[in-house]
Structure 1
Amino acid sequence: MAFASPREAVLPLGEMNTTPLIDVMLVLLVMLIFTIPVATNSLDVDLPAPTDKPVTLQPNPIKNKIALTPDGSILWNGTQTDRAGLRASLKAARELYPEPELQYEPDAQASYDLAARVLSDIKASGATKFGFVGNDRYRSFEKQN
């Protein structure tokens, strides 16, 4: 058994009891967690109203095709045009109802600068039905002889 000497009893203790401090900090942490709002991510989607009639979707038969050639020509449905004519054609197509599908097919050897400018024109026109066609030809990156 350990005996306390009278000399040790005279000196004050040098440690602080931290248990109440830890308890208060835990209570504050729990209160903080309860007050943080719940993170909600929502995406508003307009769903169609239910009807008794079956809905059949008709594919839009009108398709416009923009092709770029290696010599720097822009083809609108097979007819050569310039960028101003392309912008006018895009505007006219955008005003049709339903909007025709726009297919973009640059040649592999076409100028990257021209392709980027045409894509910029397409984006500026506000076309919503847009797609790349003919990409399956470029799916392998082997060296061609």
Structure 2
Amino acid sequence: MATHAFASAPRDRAFADINITPLVDVMLVLLIIFMVAAPTLSRAVQFDLPRPNPNPPTVNDKIKLGIQADGSITWNGAVQPYSALQALMAVEAQRDPAHPPTLVIKASGDADYGVVTRVLALARSAELDRIAFEQ
């Protein structure tokens, strides 16, 4: 009789069965977790959406303010001294308080940062809250 390294098991021995008890236990635990969590996922969240405005706001004016590298300031294309900016901004802010104009600032890449921050401070003190920057 020849012996082989991989001899097959005798046919009369029973095959080993897979133990599915741990698998069933895990599935039952997952089922219970989902049964507990499912009602909380189906609750409606109440919140109030904003109502559309029947009267859309009018298009506000835009004020173009330029700050050059040498520190000069232009107001809608006209060169203005820094000392006149506060009065100009106050007049524009009071013209239509319900719809204040947008201050569009175009600062040169070489402009002094201090000048830009002083202009922003003047706009804030004049209550010009709508400010945009242009490249």
Corresponding residue of 2:105: 104
Q: Deviations over 1:65-112 (max 9, x none)?
A: 111001110111111111221111100010021311111111101111
Report % sequence identity. Answer: 24
Which one has more relative contact order, counting CA pairs under 8 Å at least 6 apart?
Answer: 2
- Calculate the TM-score normalised by the size of structure 1: 0.51
How has the CA–CA distance of structure 1 residues 110 and 99 changed in structure 2, closer, same or farther, with 3 Å as cutoff? same
1:62 matched to which residue of 2? 61
1:62-81 equivalences under 5 Å are: 62-81=61-80
Partner of 2:130: 129
SS at 2:103 equivalent: strand
What is the aligned-residue RMSD (CA, Å)? 2.4
Regions of 4+ moved over 3 Å: none
Whether the aligned pair in 1 keeps the contact of 2:60 and 2:100 (CA below 8 Å) is no
Report what 1:94 is aligned to.
93
Provide structure 1 residue ranges, at least 5 long, that are not aligned to the other structure. Answer: 1-46, 135-145
Contact 2:89 2:123 (C-alpha < 8 Å) held by counterparts = yes
TM-score normalised per structure 2: 0.55
Q: CA deviation at 1:57?
A: 2.1
